[in-house]
Amino acid sequence: MRTHGMSRRHLLQATVGAASVLAAPHIARAAAAPLVIYDSLDFVGKAAKAFSAKTGIATNVVEQGGTGGVLGKIAAEGDKPQYDMVWLEGSAVMERMAQAGIFGAHADLAARAAYTKVGRSLVPASAMFLPVTASTTGITVNSKKLTPAQYPKSWSDLANPDYAGAIAAKDPNLSGPAFQWLAGFFQAMGEEKGKALLLQVLTNKALSGLPSGGTVNKALLTGNAKLAITQDSATFGKIAAGEPLVSLYPTEGVVATPSSIGISARTTQADSCHQFVSFVLSPEGQAAMLDGDDSDFFFAPIIEGVKAKPGRTTDINFLVLDNAAAAKNETAWKSWYRENFVP
Amino acid sequence: MTIGGAATSLGVVSLFVVLVFLPLALVMGQAVVPDLMDGHWPHLSLAGLEHSLGNARSITAISHTVVLSAIGAVSATVLGALYALMLARSNVPFRAVLRATPWLIFLTPGYLKALAWVLLMSPGGYLAQFGLLPEGWDTAFFSLNGLIFVHTLNLFPMACFVIGAAMSGLGSEFEDAARTVGGSARQAWVKINLPLLAPAVVLAFLSIFAEIASDFGLAATIARTSNFGLLTYSIATAIENFPVDFQLAGSQALVLLAMLCSVLLLDKALRRQRRVRLITGRSRRPRIYDLGLWRWPVAGFGLLVSLLSVWLPMAAIIARSGARTLGQGLAASNMTWRYLDQALTLGQPANQALLRSLWFAGLTAITCGVLALLLAWRLDQGGKALRQIVLAMAVGAMAIPGVVMGLGYILLWDRVPGFADTGIYGTWKLLVLGYVSHGLPYALVVVLPAVGQISPNLIDAARLHGAGATTRMFRIIVPLIALSLVTAVLLVFARSVFELPISQLLQPTAGAPAPSVIVRLFGNDNDGLGSALSLLAILATGGLAGLLWLAARAAGRAVWGNGFDSLGGMPRSG
C-alpha cells in the first residue's frame, strides 16, 4: 500500500510537473508580454528603448499623432483597455481620465521621485498620474514678420489691431496642451474676461482652430500668421533647427503643461509599470528623453539635477492648473471654443 | 437558386457584414442608441441625433460637403474621361509620360498632396519664394476653388481607369457599324458610345463623390486653412476626444451614408437600360483618331495636368525633404541629406515603418485582388438584388471616413464577445483586415465592370468543351480582365501603403506603419523627415508597382503575343 501510495504521490507530482512544463510557456509568455504604452510624445520611444535595454522588460509604444488620437482610442477601448500605461501632455485631460477610473493611484512612486519644487507642485493629490516633464504655452513670434518693438508682452496685448487676423492657435478639442492653455488662460484671466479677450483676439477662423502644432508653425513660417499661441517646446525645437522664431511668456503668467504617466487600473503588470515610471523619473531615464531633436525633447526638466537641452528657457514662473476645475469645465470650454473659433 | 448558389450568396453577404456593416453599425447605431456599448439594456433615442444635426455648424458642414463632393466629382469625372479618351483613342505624343501620370498620382496620397500644395501656395511658400505666385492667387487657392482644384487633380485617375477600361472593352465595332450606315463619328459617339459608357461614367462619378465626401486629408489641411468646415473634420473632432462623442460622430457618419444612398437611388431611377456585354473576344482594336496639328495642344493639356498633379507636388515634397528648415526657404545653405539618410537607414524607426507598410499593403492587395475577382464573378452570375446590395455596401464603405471605420473596428474586435476572443485586436492581422475592408470596394469597382463585360457565350463555349470552373476562371476570365485585375491590385497596394486613419486607429502594438509615422512627423512639425519618408514610400511603392506591371505585361504577351494591348490589356484575335 505504501508503495502504491508513493506511486500515487509520484504520479501526482509527475502530473503537476508535466502540467507545469506544459503551462510554463504560457506563464513565460504572460510574464514576458511587453508593456504597452499609449502616447503622443516624441521622446517616449527613446525612453522605452533605454528602459528595455536596462531591465530586459520589453515595451511596445503605440504613438499617435496627437492627444486627441490617443484619447479616442482609449475611449473606444472602454472597459477592455489594451494599454498598461498612458503618457500624455496636459494634466486636465489626465485628470478627466483619472476621474473616470482609468488609472490606479501610486503615491509611493510620487514620494520616491526626486522632483523639483515645480515638479512636486504638479503631482495631483490623487497620485493617479505622475508628471515627468514640463513645458508651457506662450506666444511665438516670427521675427521676420515683426520687429522686437512690435512683440506683445501680455495676453491682453494680443488685442492690438496690428495683429488682427494674424494670430494662429491650436484647437483645444484636438490637443491636450492646447486645452491646458485654454484652462490655464481662464484660470489666470478669469473665465468671462478670458472669453471676451479671445473673442477680440482670435478673429480669423482660418488660423484660430488649427489641428496640430505643425500646422500652426506652417501658418507662422509661410502662411498669414504673424504670431501664434503655441507650446514653447515646439518653438525651441524649431529655433534650434534654425527657424526665425521667438518664444515669449505673457506677463499674466503661463500655465505648466506637464507630460504625465498614468498606470492603467486594469494592468496585469503593475510591477513592471512601477519600474518603468521609476526609470523615466530618474536622471538616466531623463537623459534618454533628451536624446533627440524633435519638439518634445525640448522640455523643461522637473527632476533634480537634470538640465534642459541648450537654448531652452527654464526660468519660467509656471502657474499650476486647477485640474479639477479644468476637468469639470472641459466639455463646456471645448465646445465654446469650437463654436467660436473652429470652422 | 441552388443550395450552392444560396450558400455562396450568404458567404458574400457575410463577408461584407463582418468587414463593413457591423463596424459601421456599432458607430452609427450610437446616434440613435446612445448606450449601445455601455452594457445596459439599449434604448432608442432621437434626442442626440436632433441635437447633433440641428445646429448651424452641422448644417454648414453638411452643405459644404455636398457642394464640394458634387462639384469635385463632376470635374474629376470630366477630366478623367477626357484623359482616358486622349490616351485610348488619339495619336497624342508623349504617351509614356501621359500614360504614367494617373498611376503616379495614385502613388501620392491626398493628404501628402494637400501638404505639398500648402507648401507651394502659402503666401511665403515655395512658389512665392521663386516669384511664381501672382498677387491674390494664395487667397483664391485657400477657398473652395483650391479644394476642387486639388481633389480634381487627385481623383481624375479613378475616372480615367474606370472609363478607360470600359472604352477598351468597347472596341470600335459599334462605331464602325454606325459609320457603315452613314453615321458620322460624332453621331456614333453621342448615340452609341456614350450611352454604352454611361454606367462606367456614373460609377466613376459615384466613387469620386464618395472619395471626396470621406476625405480627411484635405479637410484637415486646405479646408481648415480656408475656413471651410467639412463633415469628416467634424467627425474626427468628435472621435478624437475623451469620452468620444459617439452621437455626433454616428449622426454625421449617417448623413454621409445617406448622401451616398441618395445618389445611388437617383442613379437607379434615372438609368434603367439593359446591361450590355462588350467583351466578346472578337472586338477590334479601337479606332485611333488622327488629331493632326491639334495633337500638340492636346499633349500640352495632358502635360499640364501631369505637371500640376504629379511633378509640382512631388517637387515640393522633395524640396521639403532636403530643407533643414521651412522659414529659410530653398537657399543652398539650408539643404541637408539628414532626413533622407534617416529614412533610408535600416533599423531607424522611419525605415522600419516603411518596410512594415510595404509588407502589409502587399498582403492587402493580393487578398483584395483575389476577393474582388471571386466576388465580381459571383455577383455577375448572381441575382440583381445581391449585386445591388453588395455594390451599395461597397460604395457606402468608400464614403465612410476611415476614422469611423477604424473606430468601428476597435469596438467590434476589442469589445464585442466572440470577435474580441479572437485576440487579433492590437495585432497586424486586424490592421490588414481594416485595409482589406477599405481596399476591397475599390478593387471591386475596378474589377466588377470588367467581369460584367465578358460575354456569357465565351464561358458557355468553354463549359461545353468540358472546361471546369477552375479552368474557366484561370484560362478565360483572368486573362480577359488581366489589366483590370492588375489595376485593382496596384490601386489597393498604393492606397494601403498610405491609408491613414485605419493605420492610426488600428496601429499594431508591435510597431507603427508608415502613414501613422508620416502624419505624426508632420503634426509634430518634423516635416523634413516626414517628407523624406513619404518620398521613399512613393518611390518604393512605384518601384514595386512598376515591377508588377512589367511582369503582368510580360505574362500577357507570353500568352497572347504582341496583340496584348498595354492600355486595355485585352487579347486581340484579329
Per-residue cell: B567: 492600355
Q: What is the pLDDT of residues A179-212, one digit of tens each?
A: 999 999 999 999 999 999 999 999 998 899 888 8
Q: Is there a contact between A72 and B244 if contact means CB atoms under 8 Å apart?
A: yes
- CATH number attached to the domain at A137-255+327-341: 3.40.190.10
- The mean pLDDT of chain A is 89
Backbone angles phi and psi of A131, in degrees to 5: -70, 140
Residue A1: per-residue pLDDT: 37
C-alpha distance from B180 to closest chain A C-alpha (Å) = 59
Instruction: Check whether A141 has a pLDDT greater than 80.
Output: yes
What confidence tens digit (pLDDT) does each residue in A248-299 have? 999 999 999 999 999 999 999 999 999 999 999 999 999 999 999 888 999 9
Confidence of residue B2 (pLDDT cuts 50, 70, 90): low
Q: How far is A62 from chain B (nearest CA, A)?
A: 6
What does the mean pLDDT of chain B come to?
83
The full set of domain ranges for chain A reads 33-134+257-314, 137-255+327-341
SS3 A83: coil
- Residue A86's pLDDT is 97
CA B234 → CA A67, A154, B216, B256, B427, distances in Å?
17, 32, 10, 12, 29
User: What does the alpha-carbon distance between residue A57 and residue A267 come to, in Å, rounded to a whole number?
Assistant: 15
pLDDT at position B124: 82
> What ipTM was assigned to the predicted interfaces of this complex?
0.80
- Please write the tens of the pLDDT for every residue from B66-114: 999 999 999 999 999 999 999 988 899 999 999 989 988 877 888 888 8
Nine-digit cell string for A41: 510624445
Look at B509 and A223 and tell me if their CB atoms are within 8 Å.
Answer: no
pLDDT in tens, B3-54: 666 777 788 788 888 988 899 889 888 888 877 777 667 778 887 778 777 7
pLDDT of amino acid B432: 96
As a whole number of angstroms, the distance between CA B288 and CA B285 comes to 9
- CATH classification (class only), B7-36+46-286+294-563: mainly alpha
Contact B426 A210 (CB under 8 A): no
Please state the rounded mean pLDDT for residues B489-508: 89
Among A244, A207, A239, A205, smallest CA distance to A225 is for A207
Contact criterion met (CB < 8 Å) for A339 and B57: yes
The DSSP line for B496-532 is HHH--HHHHHT--TT---HHHHHHHHHHTT-HHHHHH
Each domain of chain B, given as residue ranges in start order, spans 7-36+46-286+294-563
User: Which pLDDT score, from 0 to 100, does residue B240 have?
Assistant: 81
Q: Which of B227, B415, B509 sits opposite A60 (nearest CB)?
A: B509
Please determine whether the domains at A33-134+257-314 and A137-255+327-341 fall in the same fold group of CATH: yes
Cis peptide before B243 (omega within 30 of 0): yes
CATH topology of domain A33-134+257-314: D-Maltodextrin-Binding Protein; domain 2 (3.40.190)
From chain B, the residues in CB contact with A65 under 8 A are 504, 516, 519-520, 523-524
Full-model pTM:
0.83
Are A338 and B237 within 8 A, CB to CB? yes
Q: Chain A: residue nearest B116 by CA? A: A218
More confident of the two residues B196 and B559: B196
Contact A265, A103 (CB under 8 A): yes
Percent of chain B with pLDDT over 70: 91
Tell me the per-residue pLDDT of B101-148, one tens digit each, with 9 for 90 and over. Answer: 998 887 788 888 888 998 899 888 889 888 888 888 888 898 999 999
Contact B221, B119 (CB under 8 A): no
Q: What is the pLDDT of residues A12-53, one digit of tens each?
A: 444 444 444 334 434 433 456 899 999 999 999 999 999 999
Which pLDDT does position A5 carry in this prediction? 40
Distance CA A280, CA B424 (A): 30
Q: What share of chain A is helix, strand, coil (3-state, %, to 5)?
A: 50, 20, 30
